[in-house]
């Protein structure tokens, strides 16, 4: 389940419906997907795409996406730091950024125009669609791993354009995940 932090209100959302409706105001889609049949997180890419083919086809029809693939990065990935350095600065794309997480974690920061920064932490089962033109940046979490389905309208459009605002430098890329949830449950008990 995703976790959304609204910094200026010192608020954290953990409820799926609350998250979806909050993000919808920025044009961001958030959904939870269930596979049509069990598929291991380390299954071959074709098996992953097959297990989620219904959802992928629906999304393709909705968003005009033409291709889907599976990206896989982890601590052992050669050139990981260099790869991440392209996306951990505020940027936008000419096409939507669509990710469905199979394994690992990711942290999107979004800065809506005339809006305040919001962090969206995603994990396995989370789909996020960040519309084209949205200012954002991306980090991995402590596990340094993400495996995700990506959908593209046009792979050429996925080149980052940098805002050079340096706003991203004001936000530590900290994932809360289970730490936050265990803290909440102990506060409630």
x/- site string to Fe ion, residues 5 to 24, per CB under 5 A?
A: --------------------
Torsion of CA 148, 42, 124, 137, to 10 degrees: -30
Nearer to Fe ion, 30 or 51 (CB): 30
CB of 136 to Fe ion, least distance (A): 6
3-state secondary structure of 185: helix
x/- site string to Fe ion, residues 86 to 125, per CB under 5 A?
A: -----------x----------------------------
Burial (CB < 10 A; 0-12, 13-18, 19+), residue 35, is middle
CB of 47 to Fe ion, least distance (A): 26
CB of 178 to Fe ion, least distance (A): 25
Sign of torsion, CA 123 172 4 183?
positive
Nearer to Fe ion, 35 or 63 (CB): 63
Residue with tokens 């790869």, as numbered in its chain = 83
Closest residue to Fe ion, judged by C-beta, is 97
Nearer to Fe ion, 98 or 102 (CB): 98
CB of 131 within 8 A of CB of 157? no
CB of 179 to Fe ion, least distance (A): 26
CB of 93 to Fe ion, least distance (A): 6
Residue with tokens 């953990």, as numbered in its chain = 14
Nearer to Fe ion, 95 or 97 (CB): 97
Nearer to Fe ion, 16 or 88 (CB): 88
How far is C-alpha 53 from the chain's CA centre?
19
- CA 112 – CA 27 distance, rounded (Å): 10
Contact footprint for Fe ion (CB under 5 A) = 97
């Amino acid at each position: 389940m995703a976790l959304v932090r609204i910094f200026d209100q010192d608020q954290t959302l953990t409820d799926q419906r609350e998250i979806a409706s909050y993000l919808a105001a920025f044009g961001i889609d958030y959904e939870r997907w269930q596979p049509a049949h069990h598929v291991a997180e380390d299954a071959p890419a074709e098996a992953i795409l097959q297990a989620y083919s219904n959802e992928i086809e629906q999304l393709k029809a909705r968003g005009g996406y033409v291709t889907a693939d599976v990206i896989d990065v982890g601590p052992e990935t050669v050139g990981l730091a260099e790869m991440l350095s392209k996306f951990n600065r505020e940027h936008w794309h000419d096409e939507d950024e669509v990710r469905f997480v199979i394994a690992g974690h990711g942290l999107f920061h979004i800065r809506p125009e005339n809006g305040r920064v919001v962090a969206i932490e995603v994990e396995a089962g989370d789909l996020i669609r960040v519309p084209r033109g949205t200012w954002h940046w991306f980090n991995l979490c402590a596990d340094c791993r993400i495996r995700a389905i990506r959908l593209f309208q046009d792979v050429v459009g996925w080149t980052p354009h940098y805002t050079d605002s340096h706003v991203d430098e004001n936000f530590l890329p900290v994932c809360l995940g289970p730490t936050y949830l265990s803290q909440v449950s102990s506060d409630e008990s």
